[in-house]
Amino acid sequence: MDCNHEVVYNGLCALCGSDVESSEGQTHINMSHDSRGITVSRQEAERLEKENAERLLSSRKLSLILDLDQTVVHATWDPTVGEWMNDENNANHPATKDIRKFTLPGSHFVYYIKLRPGLSEFLETVSKLYELHIYTMGTRHYAEAVAREIDSTGKLFRNRILSRDESGSVTQKKIQRLFPCDTSMVVVLDDRSDVWSFSPNLIRIKPYEFFVGTGDINSPFAPRQPPDQDTLAKVKPLPLPETKTENEKENLESKGDDEEDEEEEQEDESTRKKALDQQEKLQEAMAQEQQEARPLAQQQSTQDRPLLVDDDRELYTMIEILKEIHQRFYNDEGRYERSKTDGAGSLQPKPDVTALMPAMKKKVLEGVHIVFTGLIPQHQTLSSSAIWQLAESFGATCLPDLTGNVTHVVAARAGTDKVHRAQRIPNVHIVSEAWLSDSTARWKKQDEAQYALPELAQAANEVENPESTPLEFDDEEKSTMQLMRAGPTWVTPIPRPAPRRSCPEKERGNGRQTQRRNPLHLGHSHH
């Protein structure tokens, strides 16, 4: 009987021992957490995932993939943290109670890991509803070290840990790496949407930044505060791919498809290893810089208050969101199962988080009509910007300019033309970008009063004659005005109201000086 080579280990069939790499027409998938040597056929992957789905359904669970850095922990190499931990008289000492420290094999750098507030309760609660996986851009040693700190018994994650050493990519994360055939029961929690290509399975949590200014030490991209030139000089850039000569191109064209695919796979593996080495060297340089520069101590020296503040509550919000997703999924599952046995009704669709979660998000900003100002670069198409797409994914309608339908102006600052014009329109909320960020991160529309631009009230008091005060235009508004000067356009500018003229007779008659109303307050008297 011929073997289908369903399971392969390091190129050899685990069932018959044949050299599968030399066989033709067989595609295998790597879906294991901790070994890049084991692959399975597509058919076997489907069978395994079906078994896994049945097991989860029987225990009424879903799968949850957790990121580590800035999702459930925050890490730094700054030795200042260790000093604050040991000094009970230091003002930052009380905030260090949930900080753990460790070193990794082959490294002398000490890692300081701060657990996000509420993490223990989060893991205990969520593990009853979800089977937990770790997926991190950190190394295998780092992932296992953090897992030991947050799951000391090993019962929550077991061996379900995927690091950058096995993931196959140092810049992107893919659900299909663990669930190649069916993602309908998989939820992802991460502080980055872009690394997941804005997957519908994703819940984006606000980044946890306890060590101020540190960012994500395992980020595949440039850190929020990039290292200086001396640090970057220690890291050699990846070599550019060599240009093939004409003879090499002819030789490549003469090779069969299988041989060409094999060479491409080897090149991809080589590039991946170079990228891993590059990232490791960059991390070492950044760690060395933190050890020497001690950025936390420098920042604390300029402040009178403690630098470390531990008031984050985001994991408690995530508990409620994950509970609701789980409840809705199994409500849909119940309706689906009942419809299969109910001959009178139509068959209900199978529950799928990739449909359920986007539908839930759409309700958050339903009925909200947003205009952005100062937040989208001039060279970028409005609808292609990340903030525009984020708002629309949560149900908002985004508009290029002020109309009668606008309910919110999301502004980078006060003083732009759109902000001034919006102040004359009743019932329009002028809020900072944080309102949109928090509303989408918490899956709940936030109170606009808490996100009003602080400059507006101050500007209204300071500007004696706002009608003669020059306006500040952002890039997108300058572009709009250029179009308006060039000819007719769909943008209709809202004219400024003519200034009210005082009546000298009335002033003399009642003995009081008549003041001109500040147009910044028009339409807001009922707010």
Kindly give the interhelix angle for 386-393 and 353-362, rounded to the nearest 10 degrees.
Answer: 100
Q: Are 157 and 133 in contact (CB under 8 A)?
A: yes
Q: 457: how many CB neighbours lie within 10 A of its CB?
A: 12
Listed residue (72, 169, 55, 47) closest to 126, CA to CA: 72
- Beta partners for residue 66, in sequence order: 134, 189
Helices (H), 342-432: 353-362, 386-393, 417-422
CA distances 117 to 72, 297, 311, Å, are 9, 23, 8
- Cβ atoms of residues 307 and 300 within 8 Å: yes
Report CA 59 to chain centroid distance, whole Å: 30
Give the C-alpha separation, 154 to 161, whole Å.
Answer: 11
Residues in Cβ contact with 268 at an 8 Å cutoff, skipping those fewer than 6 apart: none
Task: Name the token pair of 273.
Answer: 């290893």
Task: Tell me which residue has tokens 């005005």.
Answer: 481
Q: To which residue do tokens 């199962």 refer?
A: 337
Helices (H), ranges, 342-416: 353-362, 386-393
Q: Establish whether 312 is a catalytic residue.
A: no
Q: Which of 34, 67, 165, 194 is catalytic?
A: 67
Would residue 67 show up in a list of annotated catalytic residues for this protein? yes
């999924």: which residue's tokens? 329
**Token output for 311:** 């008031």
| Alpha carbons 56 and 172: distance in angstroms, whole number | 27
Q: Which of 2, 19, 34, 69 is catalytic?
A: 69
- Three-state DSSP class for 114? strand
Give the list of residues 6+ apart from residue 20 with CB closer than 8 angstroms, or none. 5, 8, 11, 12, 13, 26, 28
- Distance in angstroms (rounded) separating the CA atoms of residues 214 and 170: 20
Instruction: Give the position of tokens 């400059």.
Output: 455
Pick the closest to residue 75 from 143, 157, 172, 164 (CA basis). Answer: 143
CB 406 within 8 Å of CB 169: no
Secondary structure (3-state) at 69: strand
The residues annotated with a catalytic role in the active site are 67, 69
